[in-house]
Amino acid sequence: MEREPGQAQGVGTTLGLAAPLLLEVSMRRSLCWSLVPVLLLAACARPEVEAFRLRPVPVVVRVALSERVNDRDGLASEYAAVLRSRLAYRAEVVPEGVKPPPGAAELLVEIREISPRSGPANPATVGLAVGATVGVLSAASGNRGMGVVDGLFWGLIAGSQAAMHRDRVMGRLGYLPQAVSAEVRLVQPGNPEPLWVDSIDPMEVVEAMDPLPRSLRDDDGRIREEEAKAFARVVVQKASAFFRWTRGTEPHFYGNADSPREAAPPRRDGPPPTPPPQMTPPPPPAVLPPPPAPPSDPKVH
């Protein structure tokens, strides 16, 4: 059945008028769907976390190391001191030895492992682990004849990649740092769950380190100091991104009030002190009379 020309023109006119309406409805739907993640994020936000963001409290920094780490007390004290000094530019920090106020939050840092200073990844260890794993999986999947070859192939590739990465780190920093892995939690009294939990990957710490001058590349103490600074950078950066902290111009420590004004000297009872004697000004210079006029010459007649 064929349509009349007028009927076809009416259908085209109707579609032309409905096109803007359909476009508007589509835009509204896309806008609504784009707001879904934002609404879900706002709905899932914990009220105690939002309360801490709006009204932060002083933070106590505590660092604990695994028993397998040598000189754990010295490293814990050094890492905590560097972390306090850097965190004080973002939040109010309770200094070491100062009694925290009631309701203060605690930043608990648990350093799980600090590997020896042999680079972020030992190529031989990485290649052996990857090769053995691939070989076992290949043999278990039925490829027993080629399991050893697969393990050797992928082990060599993984080892070469680890060696290249270690050379890149050595070339950028000038020294081989230790690999530090840790877990960080921010807890507050009255809240059964931590306000914030995150893990610190060794590669994040290595990437945050700064190179050292050639004269200090063999100084173990200076390298350990740079490792602590890089670890503090990563922790503060992650905490600032989560709690939306901004960097201040001066560090803020709890109990460190401004220097008091100079107090007035105490008032003593008794007669007022004798004022110092005043010097008599010298008399003005005497006015001398003018000198007599010289005698005039006799007139000649």
Summarize pLDDT for 50-98 with one digit per residue, the tens: 988 888 899 999 999 887 777 788 889 999 999 999 999 999 999 998 9
In a domain, 28, yes or no: no
In a domain, 255, yes or no: no
In a domain, 31, yes or no: no
pTM of the predicted model over 0.85: no
Nearest Cα neighbor of 87 from 254, 266, 287 is: 254
Residue with the two structure tokens 């009416």? 10
Summarize pLDDT for 152-193 with one digit per residue, the tens: 666 667 666 666 656 666 667 777 888 888 999 999 988 889
Q: Given this model, what pLDDT does residue 106 score?
A: 94
CATH number of the domain encompassing residue 73: 3.40.50
Least confident of 16-20, 82-86, 254-258, 277-281: 16-20
DSSP 215: G
| Coil, strand or helix at 197 | strand
In a domain, 295, yes or no: no
pLDDT-derived band of residue 21, with 50, 70 and 90 as boundaries?
Answer: low
Question: Which position has the higher pLDDT, 200 or 260?
Answer: 200
For residue 118, pLDDT over 70 is answered with: no
| Coil, strand or helix at 23 | helix
In a domain, 195, yes or no: yes
Outline where 88-219 has alpha helix (H): 123-140, 147-173, 202-207
| Coil, strand or helix at 247 | coil
Distance between CA atoms of residues 141 and 136, nearest Å: 9
In a domain, 250, yes or no: no
Number of domains in the chain: 1
In a domain, 260, yes or no: no
In a domain, 33, yes or no: no
pLDDT-derived band of residue 263, with 50, 70 and 90 as boundaries?
Answer: very low
CB within 8 A of 60, min separation 6: which ones?
A: 93, 94, 100, 104, 105, 106, 107
Q: Given this model, what pLDDT does residue 81 score?
A: 94
Amino acid at 165: H
Q: Which residue range(s) make up the domain with 157? A: 57-243
Cβ count near 105 (within 10 Å): 23
**Beta pairing, strands 105-114 & 59-65:** parallel
Distance between CA atoms of residues 110 and 93, nearest Å: 18
